[in-house]
């Protein structure tokens, strides 16, 4: 059936917000779009979608009448939450362009889009990264619509751009971009040395 096809390879997951939590948990979506995540340990979690990230994302998450799209849910031991609704969207965008330094294409540079809203940064799915090719070109697919800071930085082992306050520390050198649903955006960047 069409629905079974749509939900195949998709899982709803819980990602712990602190390093003290005991791993992530997930459950498959069945052909009716239902899911169940069992044996979750007590803790605070972000809810995310696994699978087909280049074509889908979680547009909204509601549990017990509360919106958990951009904030964490706290779960107690033996707690049962049986009224969560997740809304999926297909209107992902694409951002493509070139990285140049002094008009010369720059290969091997990490291009990163970081949400302007700090709440969205807590969910890694909302931050998009790609690396420039031999001609300095890059393509970011599956970008969730919204407002972003864009940066081109040298690769680093610590992925410093995932720090929640990275955009604020480097705001003067950021490019601003509003990514509209289902559109292709062109973005040309110059590499920066991050703070």
Residues 127-158 have pLDDT tens digits of: 999 999 999 999 999 999 999 999 999 998 88
pLDDT digits (tens, 9 = 90+) for 39-66: 888 888 989 999 988 899 999 999 999 9
Per DSSP, the residues of 53-106 read: TTT-EEEEEEETTEE-SSS-EEE-TT-----EEEEEE---EEEEEEEEETTEE-
DSSP state of 192: B
C-alpha span between 163 and 39 (Å, rounded): 30
In this predicted structure, the answer to whether residue 181 has a pLDDT above a threshold of 60 is yes
95 strand-pairing partners: 140, 185
With a cut of 60, say whether residue 3 has pLDDT above it.
no
Does residue 79 register a pLDDT over 60?
yes
Q: What is the pTM of this model?
A: 0.84
When pLDDT is cut at 50, 70 and 90, the band that residue 1 belongs to is very low
Token pair listed for 37: 């995540």
Q: Are 122 and 167 in contact (CB under 8 A)?
A: no
């Amino acid at each position: 059936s069409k629905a079974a096809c749509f939900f195949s390879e998709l899982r709803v997951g819980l990602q712990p917000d602190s390093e003290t939590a005991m791993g992530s948990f997930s459950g498959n979506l069945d052909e009716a779009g239902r899911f169940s995540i069992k044996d979750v340990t007590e803790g605070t979690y972000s809810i995310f979608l696994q699978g087909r990230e280049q074509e889908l994302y979680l547009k909204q998450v509601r549990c017990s009448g509360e919106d958990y799209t951009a904030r964490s849910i706290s779960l107690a031991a033996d707690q049962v939450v049986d009224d969560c609704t997740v809304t999926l969207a297909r209107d992902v965008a694409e951002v493509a362009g070139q990285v140049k330094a002094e008009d010369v294409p720059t290969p091997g540079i990490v291009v990163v889009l970081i949400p302007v809203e700090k709440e969205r940064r807590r969910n890694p799915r909302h931050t998009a990264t790609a690396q420039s090719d031999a001609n300095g070109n890059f393509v970011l697919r599956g970008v969730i619509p919204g407002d972003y800071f864009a940066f081109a930085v040298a690769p680093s082992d610590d992925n410093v751009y995932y720090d929640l306050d990275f955009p604020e520390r480097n705001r003067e050198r950021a490019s601003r971009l509003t990514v509209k649903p289902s559109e292709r955006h062109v973005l040309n960047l110059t590499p920066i040395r991050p703070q």
